[in-house]
Amino acid sequence: MLELFTLGEGHYDEADVQAAARALSGWTLDPASGTARFDPRRHDDGVKVFRGRSGHWGLDGILAILLEQPRTAEFVVEKLWVELISPQPDPAQVSRLAGVFREGGYAIRPVLRELLSSDAFWAEAHRGTLIKSPVELIVGTLRRFDLPAPPDRQLVQLGRQMGQDLLDPPDVKGWRGHMAWIDTDRLLLREQFLRRVTRDLADESARAGRDWAVLDPAVTAGLLWSASEGASLSAPSDETTGEAGLRAGLVEAILDPRYQLK
């Protein structure tokens, strides 16, 4: 609770861990219903000192103290930052956004709105600095290009193979994300998926007479990697004009390693 979800490592000590453990005593999991249950007979109601505050703390008391600590809001904002903006949170901006988060009673929507409309989010320097998660890659690609989705079961299996087994992170810390999404095995699976998808894209569009106007070259480039300057990393395609050219350009763009970024 302290290390991974509120304060972060280095912002509490072993005495806090022990005080919190005593405060949480009496809480058990009811395996049948999967819900938490409180048994007062098994609760240690003595005085505990947690983060320098003394009292007969129980679960609510500990949570109240944690939510008062500025560090808790900062910790959550940092997580949002490294998921949405860049690998290196800006402490001044984190502190400002954490203030919004805390003052909004820890509602996610206001802080997310603030974060997504911040200069940092739109800054050119932060484009392409993060790596898409398997879910972003799989679901994002299928939705963005309106592709026929394989059965859900296959999508879940794909995510699992790429390292993101939905609802089952590797441990309580969750997925490491970012660079950890890419190792040789996972990169191969991602590229394999994208090759298959681009084949589908070509086939499906040929059949359905898709409206390729939405995919004019400028829009395509903007959609895919506005961070990149210059040409595609892969060999230039022969097809350069008309719908076929657009389609070839799109396929090339999706297969470009920069498509793996966000």
Partner 1 sequence: MRRRDLLRWTALAAVLPAWSGRASTAMRPAPATGASRCLVLVELKGGNDGLNTLVPFTDPEYYRLRPRLAIARDRVLSLDDRTGLHPALRALMPAWEAGELAWVQGVGYAEPNRSHFRSMDIWETASDRDEVLETGALPDAVILGGDEGPARGGGLQVITLRTPEQFAGDAARLKALEQPVEPTAALAHILAVRASTRQAGVEFQRSLEAMGEAPAAFPQTAPGRQLREVARMLLAGMQIPVFKVRIGSFDTHHNQAARHERLLTQLAEALAVFRETLERAGLWDRVLVMSYSEFGRRVAENASLGTDHGTAAPHLVLGGRVKGGLYGDPPDLTALDGGDLRYTTDFRRLYSTVAVNWWGMANPEWQERFPVMGWV
Q: Which of 1, 186, 212, 245 binds partner 1 (CB under 8 A)?
A: 186
Q: Which long-range contacts (CB under 8 A, 24 or more apart) does 138-143 make?
A: 138/162, 138/193, 141/194, 141/197, 141/254, 142/197
Q: Which of 7, 130, 248, 254 binds partner 1 (CB under 8 A)?
A: 130
Q: Candidates 53-61, 110-118, 188-196, 200-208: pick the segment binding partner 1 (CB under 8 A).
A: 188-196
Q: Minimum Å distance from CB 159 to partner 1?
A: 14
Q: Candidates 66-74, 147-155, 206-214, 254-262: pick the segment binding partner 1 (CB under 8 A).
A: 254-262
Q: Minimum Å distance from CB 173 to partner 1?
A: 6
Q: With beta carbons less than 8 A apart as the criterion, state whether 138 and 164 touch.
A: no
Q: Candidates 69-77, 89-97, 106-114, 232-240: pick the segment binding partner 1 (CB under 8 A).
A: 232-240
**Does the footprint of partner 1 cover residue 147 (CB under 8 A)?**
no
**Burial zone of 90 (CB within 10 Å; 0-12 exposed, 13-18 middle, 19+ buried):** middle
Q: With beta carbons less than 8 A apart as the criterion, state whether 81 and 94 touch.
A: yes
Q: Minimum Å distance from CB 153 to partner 1?
A: 20
Token pair of 61 as six digits:
């008391």
Signed CA dihedral, 133, 139, 145, 151: sign only: positive
Q: Which of 45, 103, 146, 183 binds partner 1 (CB under 8 A)?
A: 183
Token pair of 125 as six digits:
């320097």
Q: Minimum Å distance from CB 140 to partner 1?
A: 16
Q: Minimum Å distance from CB 227 to partner 1?
A: 7
Kindly report the length of the chain.
262
Contacts of 29 (CB under 8 A, 6+ apart): 35, 36, 37
Q: Minimum Å distance from CB 238 to partner 1?
A: 15
**Does the footprint of partner 1 cover residue 208 (CB under 8 A)?**
no
**232 — alpha (psi -120 to 50), left (phi > 0) or beta?**
beta
Please report, for residues 186, 195, 201, the alpha-carbon distance to residue 198 in angstroms, rounded to integers and kept in the order given: 18, 5, 5
Nearer to partner 1, 51 or 126 (CB): 126
Q: Minimum Å distance from CB 226 to partner 1?
A: 13
d(CA 143, CA 149): 9
Q: Candidates 47-55, 116-124, 150-158, 170-178: pick the segment binding partner 1 (CB under 8 A).
A: 170-178
| Cross-strand partners of 28 | 37
**Does the footprint of partner 1 cover residue 128 (CB under 8 A)?**
yes
Which chain residues interact with partner 1 by CB under 8 A? 3, 9, 14, 17, 87, 128-131, 163, 170-171, 173, 178-180, 182-189, 191-192, 195, 227-228, 230, 233-235, 255, 257-258, 260-261
